[in-house]
Amino acid sequence: MIMFIMLFGLNSHSQYIIAGQHDSGCYFYDIDPDSTIVGPNNHPPVNLPPAVYWVDINGDSFNDVFFYSRGEWVNGTGWGESKLRINDTTQCQIAMGYVDSCFENDGVTLVLTRNMINFLKENDTIDRRLKWISTPLYLYYNHFLVYNHSCWDNGFFSDTSRHYLAVRLFMSANDTVYGWIKVTNVVALSATIQEFACQTSSVNKIEVPPVFSRIFPNPTDNVMLIETQEPALEITVYDIYGMEKIKKSGKCRRTMIDLSDGHSGIYLLKIDYGYHFEMRKVVKK
């Protein structure tokens, strides 16, 4: 039996922006010529100040984030770092990528960890599903002590197609906007900032046509197939108490859901397309 389930609950528009893209609802700034910062690698007694570049990502005359680069070395030990930092942590967050760990030469003893920034590709979706934090994130770091350890990390080296950093601003209790910064040539203590864009308000905005999913069989004994007109990034199943039971990720138009481990009754299905989502009701016999 095939049954079409009409929308149950909300068809909600989630705020998002696409890395490298902007429209009339965005503030966009092309840095011309590109700005390259080069941080000092100090050796005492020299103590030059860090290289800094401020970004007012939404054009409201308030600097939201800034690039910071500096290093120091002496007698076989040293460190260097290029970071993106936040001016007002109550109003802004940046997207984190991963934690890098630095070990001594024995490969066992942990020296330090660093929170690395999320390096995005052009046309990646920037929305609430990224890992957002309010503390500084590293574009690059190194840390070394002769005969003990030598660590470094630079996510731009591992994939040179990733040039975009994600930022979001809290404009009000009900208004969060997303933006991006394009950065290239991240090498040691230098980086080139080329352009950036940000939504001006989440109240615009994008009118998304409804996407009706086909779910069958519904009701089901155990297994059901979900078909969507466009790829779903994530599908999550909740019981009637709001507890997450199943989650599947991937840009798919066809997804199998197996409810054989669940009790009979009603379940809620959240189909997330990135820029909006659907809530659907399904029944297990």
Please indicate, yes or no, if residue 279 is contained in any of the structural domains: yes
In this prediction, residue 204 carries a pLDDT of 43
Same domain, 32 and 86: yes
> How many structural domains is the chain composed of?
2
In this prediction, residue 6 carries a pLDDT of 37
Q: What is the span of the domain harbouring residue 275?
A: 209-284
Please indicate, yes or no, if residue 67 is contained in any of the structural domains: yes
Residues 4-20: tens digit of each pLDDT: 333 333 333 447 899 99
In the structure, what pLDDT confidence band is assigned to residue 158 with cuts at 50, 70 and 90? low
Same domain, 228 and 187: no
Between CA 50 and CA 282 the distance in angstroms is 57
Same domain, 134 and 233: no
Same domain, 135 and 63: yes
Same domain, 193 and 216: no
Same domain, 241 and 105: no
Residue type, 63: N
Last residue of a domain, one of 199, 230, 265: 199
pLDDT above 70 covers a percentage of the chain that reads 87
Between CA 208 and CA 7 the distance in angstroms is 15
Please indicate, yes or no, if residue 5 is contained in any of the structural domains: no
Please indicate, yes or no, if residue 1 is contained in any of the structural domains: no
65 has pLDDT over 80 = yes
Helix runs in 65-124, H state only? none
**For residue 279, what are the contacts with CB-CB under 8 A and spacing of at least 6?**
7, 8, 9, 10, 11, 12, 268, 269, 270
Provide mean pLDDT across the span 57-76: 94
Last residue of a domain, one of 136, 164, 199: 199
Same domain, 191 and 213: no
Please indicate, yes or no, if residue 146 is contained in any of the structural domains: yes
Same domain, 159 and 251: no
Please indicate, yes or no, if residue 10 is contained in any of the structural domains: no
| Cβ atoms 193, 180 nearer than 8 A | no
Same domain, 176 and 119: yes
Give the helix, strand, coil percentages of the chain, each rounded to 5: 0, 60, 35
Same domain, 152 and 233: no
Same domain, 60 and 177: yes
pTM of the model: 0.67
Last residue of a domain, one of 199, 217, 244: 199
Residue with tokens 């989440």: 202
Residues 197-254: tens digit of each pLDDT: 999 875 444 444 455 678 889 899 999 999 888 888 888 898 876 788 999 888 888 8
DSSP 111-154: EEEEEEEP-EETT-EEETTSEEESS-EEEEEEEEETTTEEEEEE
Please indicate, yes or no, if residue 7 is contained in any of the structural domains: no
Please indicate, yes or no, if residue 4 is contained in any of the structural domains: no
Same domain, 106 and 244: no
Domain at 236, CATH number:
2.60.40.3080
